[in-house]
Amino acid sequence: MPDRPNVADPGRIIAHRGASHVAPENSLKAIRAAARQGVWWVEFDVSLLGDGTPVIHHDATLDRCTDASGPLLDITASELDRIDYGRGEQIPTLDQALDLVEELGMFANLEMKPHLQSLGRMAEIVAKALEQRHWARQRVQTSSFSLGELDALRALMPGHSIAALFTQPPENWPEILDRMQAAALHVQFRHLSTSLIDAARRRQIDIRTYTINDPGAVQPFRDAGLTGVITDHPPYFLDDHEWKRWSGT
C-alpha cells in the first residue's frame, strides 16, 4: 500500500469557492463567511497573474467575476486594487487567502486551475507558498484537473496531501491515484456512483463530490460511505441535525 499523505480530518463539509452563496466567490469575505457558517474547510481556486502572482480566482479572464475584463494574465499584482471582485472585495492573493485560513484555524482545499498559459508553472509557485507555512502540511490538501501539475507538486512536496480532481474519473483512476499517492478523489456529482465510492473506500481513498447544494440528492451516497461534499451553501447541510452529525463539525 503506497504512503498517501493526508490532512487531519476536521469535517466533511467543504465550502465551495468559500461560502459563495452569500459572498463573492473566492473572496476573503467568502472564506470568513464559511467560518461563520460553521465549517472548517474551504475550497478555493488558484490562478496566476501575468507576473506569476498566484491569486484566488476561478476563470482565465476577469469578465464574469469582476468589473474589469480581459485575460487574468494581462494584469499584475499592482493592479489588483483597482478591480472590484464584488461588494468592495478585491481578488485575494494566495498569500492573503492562506494567511486568513491560518488565522481562522481552518482547512483548505486548494485547487490549482489549469489555465493553458499557466501549465508547467503553477505547481512550483504553489509549492513555494505552502512550504513557507509549516501548518499547511496538516491543513491544506491540493487538487487539480491538471494531472501534470499534481505530478509536479508531488515531486516538489513529497509529504503534501493531494486530491485527484475529475469531472468523470477515467477507468484507470486507481493507477493515476497510486502514481501520485493521492489521498482523495474529487468527482463531479453527476458522475458519482455507489460503486465508485465502494472502490475508493476499498483502497482507503477519501471520495468527495462537487458541487452539490441538495442534501436529499446526496443522501444515498452519504449512506454508501461518501467522505465529504463540496457545496456553495453549507447551511443547507448543517441546518439539519442528521447532516450536522455526519459532517463532524
* Nearest residue to 17 (alpha-carbon basis) of 54, 52, 46, 53: 46
Closer of 142 and 225 to Mg ion (Cβ): 142
Closer of 47 and 90 to ligand G3P (Cβ): 47
Q: Is 186 in the site for ligand G3P (CB under 6 A)?
A: yes
Contact between residue 47 and residue 149 where contact means Cβ atoms under 8 Å apart: no
Closer of 45 and 89 to ligand G3P (Cβ): 45
* Nearest residue to 220 (alpha-carbon basis) of 235, 198, 241: 198
Of 30-38, 42-50, 102-110, 200-208, the segment contacting Mg ion by CB under 5 A is 42-50
Query: From the list ligand G3P, Mg ion, none, which binds 232 (C-beta under 5 to 8 Å, kind-based)?
Result: none
Closest contact distance (angstroms) between CB of 142 and Mg ion is: 12
Burial class (CB in 10 A: 0-12, 13-18, 19+), 203: middle
d(CA 200, CA 248): 20
Closer of 80 and 230 to ligand G3P (Cβ): 230
Q: Which of residues 12-41 bind ligand G3P (CB under 6 A)?
A: 16
Query: 3-class DSSP state for residue 105?
Result: coil
Closest contact distance (angstroms) between CB of 157 and Mg ion is: 20
Distance of CA 114 to the CA centre of its chain: 13
Chain residues in the site for ligand G3P (CB under 6 A) = 16, 43, 45, 58, 111, 143, 165, 186, 210-211, 230
